[in-house]
Amino acid sequence: MTVPLIYDIGSPGRMGTTLPDVEVPETELPKELLRKDLDLPEVSELQAVRHFVNLSQLNHAIDTGFYPLGSCTMKYNPKINEDMARLAGYAHLHPLTDEVGSQGALALMVQLQEWLGELSGFQGVSIAPAAGAQGELAGILMIRAYHQSRNDKKRVKILVPDSAHGTNPATVTMAGLQAVELPSDKHGEVDLNALRSALDDTVAGMMITVPSTLGVFDSKIADVIRMVHEAGGLMYMDGANMNALLGIVKPGELGFDVMHYNLHKTFSTPHGGGGPGCGAVGANEKLMPFLPGPIAAITEAANEENDAPLYGLVMPKKSIGRMKAFQGNFGMHVRAYTYMRVYGGEGLREVSRHAVLNANYVRAKLRGVYPMPVDRICGHEFVMSGTVEGAEGIHALDISKRLMDYGIHPPTNYFPLIVHEALLIEPTETEDKATLDMFIDAMKRIAQEAKETPDLLHSAPHTMPVGRVDEVRAAKQLVLCCRPIPEPEGGD
Amino acid sequence: MSWNTPAELKYMRSDEYLKLEGETATIGISDYAQEQLNDIVFIELPDVGAEFAKGKSFGTVESVKAASDLLMPVGGKVIAVNDKLKDQPELINSSPYGDGWIIKIQVGDAAEANDLMDAAAYAAYCASR
């Protein structure tokens, strides 16, 4: 590590600031709260600044390099989003300001909800949830609340395909229901026979990602939705892969009952270290009354006296309640609104078209270099196996680590779980052909290196501040604190 | 690629093996499974005396790559667990059929083993994946 710990620089007594003399009588602190030592870094302001700036420059970010992390949609976040989020009227708005004083912010939220509803074909949208997993939890709690409102208490199972994001079964468990795993067929689609035999009157619904985590659009999705509905279950769409669908497919029109969007993926709000996110939830008329709230809405239409409508906050009738304090991550609402406003409807359709085109371009160029377990036209991402013929002993992890030496963030490793040595690659629409070609070239060179100089891959990365980390030791010896934690003095 | 698939064992599609020894049996995961999982870092074992039906999960195994359920090849009652694995889960990697065994059970109905794969069928199944 080229950057020392902040505890290892500085010297005793050094401070970044000089405190003024105390002008009031000192108060004795209770003895049980006193400690002999307070183990804090003792550095000057300049040392602290240099330490953190140097660390930040070791980061790989979408602003510094290519980031094809599958299922995460690491697209460029336009800087105009930041300008808008910093407008004083939004950035300085106090969360406790009353509705009359927040009309501009509420109007923006209503417009964002309408656009998300239009894109997905849903009648109701709540932008309260803070992230994708919270959006999922809201959606599944809504399904549960729907069945309970009909006094149908035996529906306790949620079907989840084996290609699902790990958050799906976790969400089901968090919601107090049981996850039932469904196998995929050899095309990576839902196995209809397995679905048929899993369906009965204990099934509350099904969670499915469209396109799937294998990057493919399930050609039998209409049958899947019909079968689940006929059995009395509801359909939840995990919208993590919405970047393939904008202006092309409306989940609500396909028959889904509820879905979540990841504004931090599809709608270019910061993602990965830069968050926080927003896991908005859309629902059809059946589930709308259960949406989490409060939801921004027009509470009084424009009339002869007032040429603008009055906006307010409304709790849906049978709401599952709050997911987040105040109105969720409002700064993300402003960024996503700005993104959609800049592109417009036709522009958003182009976003998805280019995302799909870019993924298929990379996939087609890497065919024959790496195994493609699902060898068909993909959506916005595709999965390959990180193995090289004639180079036994090379794993997906070795390829990923070597990619770092080429200045590229590794793709998603070992997910989906059903693909051998999976590498899930999502270039996004914001990369140009030169960058995609640079990536393709790096992947081809690595395949060659795998055969000729495999040790180069096994010991990669070579150009990073930290080399190959010992993942086994890290997993088995969980030590999160670099220094011993001092025992509290006295007290119980 | 080829993996060690001892002839005297029976195998599940989910890669657990069953070694029948009269009315008791030893259960673990195959050489193929340990290689696919990569370095195993944690295992959750059942209590002795617990009973599980065929196909039910009796524990989980976790590697740097993934966490997987462990399924019962036949139903039965747990009579011993390999406590060594708590500190040395890597024994499953180094010796899946020996020191890396996971549980021993009192077999409920030995006929439940009939639909398991023999070594030849399992080796072919691994090669096809």
CATH code: domain of residue A413: 3.90.1150.10
Find out whether B74 and B107 touch, Cβ atoms under 8 Å: yes
B63 assigned to some structural domain: yes
Q: Which amino acid appears at position A154 of this protein?
A: K
If you average pLDDT over residues A312-329, what whole number do you get? 96
Separation between Cα atoms, residue A275 and residue A123, nearest integer Å? 27
The count of domains in chain A is 2
Chain B: residue whose CA lies nearest to A417: B66
- On average, the pLDDT of chain A sits at 93
A492 class by beta-carbon count within 10 Å (0-12 exposed, 13-18 middle, 19+ buried): exposed
**Domain of residue B23, residue span:** 10-111
- Amino acid A491: pLDDT: 45
In a domain, B56, yes or no: yes
Instruction: Give the tens place of pLDDT for each residue, B95-115.
Output: 999 999 999 999 999 999 999
Is the domain of A389 the same as that of A332?
no
Partner-chain contact A476 B41, CB within 8 Å: yes
**Who has greater pLDDT, A21 or A39?**
A21
* Mean pLDDT score, B66-83: 94
**Coil, strand or helix at A163:** coil
Burial of A437-461, coded b for 16+ CB within 10 Å and e otherwise, reads ebbbebbeebbebbeeebeebbebb
| Domain CATH for B74 | 2.40.50.100
- B75 within some domain: yes
Whether residue A331 sits in one domain with residue A416:
no
Residue in A392, A417, A472 nearest the CB of B39: A472
Judge whether B105 lies within some domain: yes
Residue A469 belongs to some domain of the structure: yes
A316 in a domain, yes or no?
Answer: yes
* A140/A205 same-domain check: yes
The least confident of A296-300, A302-306, B23-27, B117-121 is A302-306
Q: Per the domain annotation, does B59 fall within a domain?
A: yes
**pLDDT range class, residue B38, cuts 50, 70, 90:** confident
Cα A454 to Cα A450: distance, rounded to the nearest angstrom: 5
- For residue range A163-221, what is the model confidence (pLDDT) as tens digits? 899 899 999 999 999 999 999 888 889 999 999 999 999 999 999 999 999 999 999 99
Residue A36 scores a pLDDT above 90: no
Residue A138 binned pLDDT confidence (cut-offs 50, 70, 90):
very high
| Chain B residues within 8 A of A476 when measuring between CB atoms | 41-42, 89
Here the ipTM equals: 0.70
A472 and B64 within 8 Å at the Cβ level: the answer is yes
Give the residue on A whose Cα is nearest the Cα of B42: A476
Q: Are residues A163 and A242 in the same domain?
A: yes
Q: What is the CATH number of the domain that holds A139?
A: 3.40.640.10
A476–B contact, CB cutoff 8 A:
yes
Mean pLDDT to the nearest integer, A292-304: 94
Does A209 lie in the same domain as A181? yes
The half-sphere exposure of A34 on its side-chain side, counting CA atoms within 13 A, is: 7
**Is residue A437 domain-shared with residue A416, that is, in the same domain?**
yes
Q: Given this model, what pLDDT does residue A74 score?
A: 95
Looking up tokens 């196909």 gives: B55
Q: Which tokens is A388 given? A: 């090289």
> How many distinct structural domains can be found in chain B?
1
**Distance between CA B112 and CA B89 in Å, rounded?**
29
For residue B58, being part of any structural domain is answered with: yes
The answer to whether residue B41 neighbours chain A at the CB level (below 8 Å) is yes
In chain A, residues with a C-beta closer than 8 Å to the C-beta of B129 are 420
In a domain, A278, yes or no: yes
pLDDT at A492 over 50: no
CB-nearest partner of B41 from A392, A420, A472? A472
pLDDT at A19: 86
Same structural domain, A373 and A235: no
Establish if A465 belongs to a structural domain.
yes
Do A106 and A226 belong together in one domain?
A: yes
- Asked whether residue A97 falls in the same domain as residue A116, the answer is yes
Among A106, A4, A102, which residue's Cα sits nearest to residue A55? A4
Residue B128 pairs in a beta bridge with: none
For A243-263, letters b (16+ CB in 10 Å) and e give bbbbbebbbbebbbbbbbbbb
Mutate to test the interface with A, among B38, B43, B57, B62 (most CBs of A within 10 A): B38
DSSP 8-state secondary structure symbol assigned to residue B113: G
pLDDT of residue A381: 97
Residue corresponding to tokens 């979408």: A62
**B123 occurs within a structural domain:** no
The verdict on residue A491 lying in a domain is no
Question: Is the minimum CB–CB distance between A165 and chain B shorter than 8 Å?
Answer: no
Q: Is pLDDT at A443 greater than 70 in this prediction?
A: yes
Quote the CA–CA distance of A422 and A416 in Å, as a whole number: 7
Segments forming the whole domain that contains residue A356: 346-476
Regarding whether A351 and A337 lie in a shared domain, the answer is no
pLDDT for the residue A274 = 57
What confidence score (pLDDT) does residue A481 get? 75
B3 occurs within a structural domain: no
Edge to edge, what strands does the sheet with A157-161 contain?
A124-126, A281-283, A258-261, A234-239, A203-209, A157-161, A178-182
Chain A CB contacts of B65 below 8 Å: 413-414
Regarding whether A336 and A447 lie in a shared domain, the answer is: no
Q: Of the ranges A54-58, A333-337, A342-346, B42-46, which one carries the lowest mean pLDDT score?
A: A54-58
Is A471–B129 a contact, with Cβ atoms under 8 angstroms apart?
no
